[in-house]
Amino acid sequence: MSGVDGEPRMLIDGQLVEARSGRRFENINPATEAVIGEAADGGHDDFDAAIGAARRAFDETDWSTDRALRKRCLEQLHRAISSERDALRAELIAEVGAPVGIMGGLQLDGALDHEFPWPVEFIDEFGWERELPVNETPLGRSWRRVLKEPVGVVAAIVPWNFPFEVAVSKLVPALATGNTVILKAAPQTPWNATRLGRLVAEHTDFPAGVFQVLTTSDNEVAEDLVSDPRVDMVSFTGSTAVGRRIMALAAPSLKRLFLELGGKSAHVVLDDADLERALAASAIAACRHGGQSCATLTRVLLPRSRYDEGVGVIEARFGEVRYGDPLERDVIQGPQISARQRDRILSYIDGGVSEGARLVLGGGRPAGLPVGYYVEPTLFADVENSMRIAQEEIFGPVLVVIPYDDEDDAVRIANDSPYGLSSAVSSGSEARAVRVARRLRAGTASINGGVWLAPDSPFGGYKASGIGRQNGLEGFEQYTETKTIAGPLAA
């Protein structure tokens, strides 16, 4: 892609550096399969240097206590990113394969214009201290105070599907609360992270070591961030399988964990719903960005009394999905991130057919797109919730439709999942929809198309969908420790 010139270097201890080994790895455009550049291939010694610098910056500078400095540095970084918005947009399209038409949302503009500023402004609003009532004991009277302090060194590990947005959701609140942060980019999408490193180095007053960016092609090297006792917290977004691995590696040092993991979210469409209104958005959302979003509603539950009607509505909307070149404005579904991911999705589709689900649309590679990691928008009907395509996260443009008998059956099916990230309920009665949503074991619920996503809205999941929350008060506070102090009062 022309006009894209990414930063290959990492940021370690205030310096933009190559890997000490001199190695680099390729950055590939998933829409064209072309190599668009390279990034430093960090090794164990690079990670060791970054961890040491982050530890020193936390222990030896006043970053953890100087809220005015933190706010100034984050505002400087926000201005610097905003000044390179167009270049970052082109970069994300090239390395992520995200369609230009969705850049106005969470992938870039929403994250930069809303998600970034909120924690910075919240520095002045957060309750850093609060007084408790006087404590009367046989030993005397004491004043008491509760303090909020930073956790320490935070390893922020981001995925490839929304790399900039997830980085923002981690690094800004973590830095705002006084932690030092090591940002580890996904190997498929390194440049948006290294751009942040360059902007910090060139345009801000961040003390050396407070914010660092690491890139590597080797997941084993990246595990240093999880196992090293100098790291106090790991903030990870990605698959549940990797989340389990992180928990195991972090256990010996009892690190604080935030894990935002996978999902297999259900859209419960009740029998009094307006099907056209309820299902049109779900069909489009299942394909947006190649279905590469953890909170996508990938299971649609329809009442048997309106099942054929509902499947027909979804099929019609699926047929309208524009997919292909992410540079075309009306495209909402670009490529999958890699050949490996494309082939994984196709294997799930083959498995769904083998299990007896009815393939309504799609199911293969588009004949008209011989280059790029594309999968056709794929719709399955007559799915049983026990099938793999209904139980496992496919992370592709695949929607499954499941019939149910009554309201209780719908709730049972929706909750019969190892995941619990998001959900939706559609009904002609808002009160009924809310009642059903309260019964769903999921971290978020959309009622009749309501949008819960916002910088002040906590997001995260139940069960295998993770631990902790992103955004909002809960997301800000999770990067803090709580200390209670007390002192004697005169008699």
Active site residues: 260, 294
C-alpha 15/C-alpha 12 separation (Å) is 5
The 10 Å CB-count burial string (b at 16+, else e) for 458-482 is: bbbbbbbbbbbbbbbeebbbbbbee
Calculate the alpha carbon distances from 69 to 202, 283, 406, 407 in Å.
17, 46, 57, 54
Calculate the alpha carbon distances from 209 to 103, 154, 195, 361 in Å.
31, 12, 17, 51
Q: Are 381 and 311 in contact (CB under 8 A)?
A: yes
- The helix/strand/coil state of 39 is strand
Helix then strand then coil, in percent of the chain rounded to 5, is 40, 25, 40
Q: Which residues pair with 180 in a beta bridge?
A: 153
Q: Which residues pair with 181 in a beta bridge?
A: 154, 211
Residue 449: phi and psi, rounded to 5, are: 90, 5
Q: Are 425 and 440 in contact (CB under 8 A)?
A: yes
